[in-house]
Amino acid sequence: MNRTVLETLDRWEPRKLLGQGGEGTVYLVWDKLSEQRYVLKVFHKPWPKAKVKALQRYASSNGVEDSCAGLSSIELIQDSDHILAVAYLYRRVYHLNRRLLCSVDQIGQALLGAFCRMQAHLVSQHGLALWDVVADNFMVDMNGQFWLTDYGDGFAQLDDDRHLN
């Protein structure tokens, strides 16, 4: 575990390592304040706040609801200059087997539809878009609802030239 960040965050009690990727390590944690389970993504290297303005806009927007198009409300864990981690309420979701995703057209169509709903909501309500996502960034709950599960540098502001080219 990335003890550096977790040791300084007395609020979170690590329960399980969920995974690790290019941006960070993801844990299931217990929030001692709310007494609920959360997903905590600790970035490998803290991000300068200037680099992730879109993620900050998303986190600060009051219009994102847990049930809205498979997007979760998030909380940024930060110091004065850097974003250290991102947290969101845990919900039981499952990976789709890649063979199912590739061989059953309706599953691929449902995933594409969910992605389009997320994009439409982010573009119209927040001036944001998902720009760097793959199918592995989405998981599905028991009701068939797809959820975005990767909150990091994959958000872009619509007026950011870096992502418009």
Amino acid 163: pLDDT? 55
CA angle 93, 98, 156 (to 5 degrees): 65
For residue 68, pLDDT beyond 80: no
Amino acid 1: pLDDT? 42
Separation between Cα atoms, residue 127 and residue 148, nearest integer Å = 18
Amino acid 62: pLDDT? 63
Query: 114 or 97: which carries more pLDDT confidence?
Result: 114
Split at pLDDT 50, 70, 90, the class of 146 is: very high
The count of other CB atoms within 10 Å of the CB of residue 81 is: 10
Amino acid 104: pLDDT? 80
For residue 90, pLDDT beyond 90: yes
Structure tokens at 44: 């490998």
Query: Nearest Cα to 17, choosing from 28, 5, 8?
Result: 28
pTM recorded for the entire structure: 0.85
Average pLDDT over residues 100-121: 86
Give pLDDT tens digits for 21-57: 889 999 999 999 899 999 999 999 999 998 889 999 9
CA angle 34, 55, 95 (to 5 degrees): 70
